[in-house]
Amino acid sequence: MISPAGPSAQSPFATAPQDTVIETRNLAKVYRDFWGREKVRALKPLDLNIRKGEIFGLLGPNGSGKTTTIKLLLGLLFPTSGEAFVLGEKASDVTKNERIGYLPEETYLYRFLNAEETLDFYGKLFNIPTQVRRERAKELIVQVGLEKARKRQLKEYSKGMTRRVGLAQALINDPELVVLDEPTTGLDPLGCREMKDLILDLKRRGKTVLMCSHLLADVQDVCDRIAILHQGELKELGRVDELLKLADATEIRTSHLSDEAKAEVRAVLERHGARIDRIDHPTTTLEELFLNIVRDAEVRPGRRACGDQ
Ligand SMILES: Nc1ncnc2c1ncn2[C@@H]1O[C@H](COP(=O)(O)OP(=O)(O)OP(=O)(O)O)[C@@H](O)[C@H]1O
Ligand SMILES: [Mg+2]
């Protein structure tokens, strides 16, 4: 049964902005051992507010509490203290998960099903009518680039292919909120770029995305806001563009600037007492370089590099 969209009548978001999708208040988790003794303080009291339509990144080194936070939000774990609300419902209410797409850290899919059967199986769990289910599965398989492998059993899939079918499975219920735990794990740079484009596409379609990762470049490319956790503690929270801005440096980019013009620019800057750190050609990223080479190799398969370095 699908719950009505938006916060329920006695909205727990009474104090939060209207477009809040996830809110945590002092949310904390302590893992205990068999005798109830404190083993790990995985999440220290956390206050977060994630808004509709944004891509929010949860960042942190291994063991910093990212997966724990996600599991608390999905109601797969109970908090030790504090509370969380997702899509207007308590995080512990798992019926709200019907409106959420979840890609776990490790995908647990049936190895003997192929991609089509997998999506059909999950579509049935959500009671999606047969025709809609088939069409959605077909679209998703194309979207995640598994068209050629759609009839192969998942046991034959590479890590990256498994990740892709995991994402398709997370989207089968056309969720309002998509939660991705390390979405680019196991993907090659091309796969990473495609995954990032898919995530940006979800945002364009009005979805809210919460993703966690320790791959900083991935997060930088797609996230609007991030939170950085360290040993379960929130260390930073804010807009990516603002966090990365170097407020006391200025960059001017032009193309085809002659040596004469450069000298003039330099003279003007010096007249204004500016210290010039660098006037140089900007470099591309290794990701861009790699993607250009791979794409070129697909268009011109016979060509080889004859580098002498
Ligand atoms: N079921 C569990 N029982 C006991 N401790 C746990 C359990 N799950 C996680 N932990 C501990 O909680 C802490 C946070 O783990 P968590 O999996 O949330 O980290 P993470 O940020 O997702 O790390 P990674 O980047 O490696 O996926 C770690 O110290 C981990 O050992
Ligand atoms: Mg994790």
Residues 104, 153 within the same domain: yes
CA of 306 to the centre of ligand 2 (A): 42
281 shares its domain with 227: no
73-128 per-position pLDDT tens digit: 999 999 999 999 999 999 999 999 999 999 998 878 889 999 999 999 999 999 99
User: What atom in ligand 1 is closest to the CA of residue 214?
Assistant: 25
From the list 81, 5, 19, the residue with the least C-alpha distance to 50 is: 19
Same domain, 190 and 41: yes
Could you tell me the residue range of the domain that residue 75 belongs to?
Answer: 20-244
Tell me: do 160 and 295 sit in the same domain: no
Q: Are residues 50 and 145 in the same domain?
A: yes
Residue 253 covered by a domain: no
Q: Determine the pLDDT at residue 13.
A: 54
Tell me if 7 is assigned to some domain.
no
Q: Residue 9: inside a domain, yes or no? A: no
Task: Tell me the torsion sign for CA atoms 216, 217, 218, 223.
Answer: positive
Is 14 contained in some domain? no
pTM for the whole thing?
0.84
One domain, residues 179 and 54:
yes
Residue 227: its pLDDT value, please?
92
Residue 210 domain flag: yes
Task: Give the pLDDT of residue 307.
Answer: 54
Atom 29 of ligand 1: nearest residue by CA position: 63
Spatial distance between the Cα atoms of 286 and 51, rounded to a whole number of angstroms = 32
Domains held by the chain: number: 2
Do 144 and 57 lie in one domain? The reply is yes
Are residues 119 and 229 part of one domain?
A: yes
Work out whether strand 55-59 and strand 20-32 pair parallel, antiparallel, or are unpaired: unpaired
Residues 6+ apart with CB under 8 A from 54: 203, 208, 209, 224, 225
30 within a domain of the structure (yes/no): yes
> Residue 29: nearest ligand to its CA?
1
Measured CA to CA, the distance from residue 28 to residue 117 in angstroms comes to: 39
For the domain that residue 28 is a member of, what is the CATH number? 3.40.50.300
Exposed / middle / buried, residue 125 (Cβ in 10 Å: 0-12, 13-18, 19+)? exposed
Per-residue pLDDT of the chain (309 residues; tens, 9 = 90+): 334 344 444 445 555 667 999 999 999 999 998 888 888 999 999 999 999 999 999 998 899 999 999 999 999 999 999 999 999 999 999 999 999 999 998 878 889 999 999 999 999 999 999 999 999 999 999 999 899 999 999 999 988 899 999 999 999 999 999 999 999 988 888 888 888 999 999 999 999 999 998 888 888 889 999 999 999 999 989 998 888 777 788 888 888 888 899 899 989 998 998 888 888 887 777 777 777 777 777 788 777 766 555
Length of the chain: 309
Q: Examine the domain organization and report whether 228 and 277 are in the same domain.
A: no
Is 129 a domain residue? yes
Ligand 1 residue neighbourhood (C-beta within 6 Å): 31, 39-40, 42, 60, 62-68, 105, 214
Residue with CA closest to ligand 1 atom 25: 62
What is the whole-number distance in angstroms between the Cα of residue 62 and the centre of ligand 2? 7
- Establish if 43 belongs to a structural domain: yes
Do 119 and 77 fall into the same domain?
Answer: yes
User: Which of the listed residues 34, 67, 212, 231 should we mutate to test ligand 1's pocket, taking the one with most ligand atoms within 8 A of CB?
Assistant: 67
Please name which ligand lies nearest the alpha carbon of 43. 1
Which residue do the tokens 């495609």 mark? 194
Domain limit, last residue, from 222, 244, 266: 244
Question: For ligand 1, atom 26, which residue shows the shortest CA distance?
Answer: 62
- Residue 192 and residue 296 in one domain: no
Distance 307 CA to ligand 2 centre (A): 40
